[in-house]
Structure 1
Amino acid sequence: MTQQLKPTARDARRLQTRERILGAAIAEFKSAGMAGAEVNTIVAAAGVAHGTFYFHFPTKEHVLLELERREEARVAADFARFLDEPHDLAGALTAVTALVAGIERRFGRPLFKELLALHFSPSRPESEDWTDRAVIVLLVREIEQASRAGAVHPEADAFYSAVFFLLGVYGVLSTNDDAEIRAATLDKLVASALRGLHIR
């Protein structure tokens, strides 16, 4: 059995510094957008030296990547808790839609769009397989379970159904500013996805 090493005071300070930089960077991204964000402004707000920023985050894109990872983990944890309770596939699709929309509410439309741009960028700093995306994995598993239960057509592809559904959610959220129209469109997206999966 491997013994866990207790973090040192230096490790704790390094983590605190990283968190300060991340918080300052998010605030700057909200204000100026990633392209317009100034590292000088970020380090001044975080109270660290210029080189300290690059020690923790090689580029501004790496800050967004860290934020994306954290949001993915948070949404996945919330979605997993939802899935542990009694529900149907319609409820699961509605729940994951609300969780993704919650990211936009927390960070605002400009930063949410920056996150989406990074998410789909072919030049993102690090590439990942879909199995590294916890939300997709959970949604694929949910569709597969519904298929085994006879609620989804057996030939429906769970992976593509999950990915196309989430792409639809991202598309609606990033292209429509009217709250009522967005809500109605997201409801239609859920209904359309269910029809496409041949819910009986």
Structure 2
Amino acid sequence: MRYEKGHREETRRRILDVASAQFRESGIAAVGLAGIMSEAGLTNGAFYTHFASKEDLVREVLIDALARREERHKANLENGVPVETVIRDYLSTRHRDGAGTGCPTAALVAEIARHPKATRAAFTGKVADITTLMAEQIRQGSADQRRRKAIAIYSTMVGALQLSRAVNDKQLSDEILDNAVETAIAIANAP
């Protein structure tokens, strides 16, 4: 059977999108290929037309999802969005409550640490790119100081978002986010 031009790319994109949402919502280990393919409306056999293995899919999902976040950071930089706005958006209750569509770093970082070198290398490269862009948004300090601030801010944001999702006390969760916002902004504005 012949398919229209672009069918293969559309199918691959659908698999990536479904896997990305499922991985972020439930975790990589908890998600099986059969569930991904079923939600994508495809057979299990079709998976191997697009990916060599689940690990290959994980790596591609990370690269894709982090590239999209990187594009948001580039747009923020081009549009003069202050780093404080980025911090507040990231550490919002909307982001906390939307793991399936949120930052893949916060949703998956603990699992990524246990994956093979190639997956971790892809992740590392994208995280480095994002922190570089974040450093460009910071106005205070030398290039080296802005880089260190960006790493501290990103680490604070990711950790706070993870912790706010893990606790079962909404008030404490909100406090974690609010305090992390204050701390990250203080880091950004420190001389």
TM-score, normalized by the shorter chain, greater than 0.5: yes
Contact residue 63 and residue 123 of structure 2 kept, 8 A: no
Give the root-mean-square deviation of aligned CA atoms: 3.9
Report the CA distance shift for 1:26/1:188 in structure 2 as closer, same or farther (over 3 A): closer
Amino acid corresponding to residue 21 of structure 1 in structure 2: I
Equivalent residue in structure 2 for 1:102, among 75, 82, 95? 95
Taking the aligned partners of 1:32 and 1:89, their CA distance within structure 2 comes to: 30
Structure 1 residue 173, shift from structure 2 partner: 1.6
Task: Using the aligned pairs only, state the percent identity.
Answer: 20
Report the CA distance shift for 1:139/1:97 in structure 2 as closer, same or farther (over 3 A): farther
Report the CA distance shift for 1:62/1:160 in structure 2 as closer, same or farther (over 3 A): farther
Contact residue 89 and residue 142 of structure 1 kept, 8 A: yes
Whether 1:62 aligns to 2:56 is: yes
SS at match of 2:98: helix
SS at match of 1:37: coil
Equivalent residue in structure 2 for 1:78, among 72, 76, 93? 72
Deviations 1:125-167 (A, max 9, x none): 4314856444212111123xx13xxxx4x49632232122212
Structure 1 residue 123, shift from structure 2 partner: 2.4
Deviations 1:22-42 (A, max 9, x none): 345456557864323332343
Runs of 5+ in structure 2 lacking a partner? none
Report 1:1-12 matches (<5 A): 12=6
TM-score normalised according to structure 2 size: 0.67
Q: Quote the residue 2:176 is aligned against.
A: 185
Q: Quote the residue 2:110 is aligned against.
A: 117
Q: Quote the residue 1:141 is aligned against.
A: 136
Q: Quote the residue 1:21 is aligned against.
A: 15
Amino acid corresponding to residue 54 of structure 1 in structure 2: Y
Contact residue 24 and residue 45 of structure 1 kept, 8 A: yes
Q: Larger relative contact order (C-alpha < 8 A, sep ≥ 6)?
A: 2
Q: Any runs of at least 4 consecutive aligned residues in structure 1 with deviations exceeding 6 A, and if so which?
A: none
TM-score normalised according to structure 1 size: 0.64
Structure 1 residue 95, shift from structure 2 partner: 4.1
Taking the aligned partners of 2:26 and 2:83, their CA distance within structure 1 comes to: 39
Amino acid corresponding to residue 152 of structure 2 in structure 1: F
Taking the aligned partners of 1:15 and 1:138, their CA distance within structure 2 comes to: 29
Runs of 5+ in structure 1 lacking a partner? 1-8
Taking the aligned partners of 1:68 and 1:132, their CA distance within structure 2 comes to: 9
- Structure 1 or 2, whichever has the larger Rg, is 1
Amino acid corresponding to residue 185 of structure 1 in structure 2: I
Structure 1 residue 105, shift from structure 2 partner: 0.7
Q: Quote the residue 2:161 is aligned against.
A: 173
Deviations 1:158-180 (A, max 9, x none): 22321222122121221233444
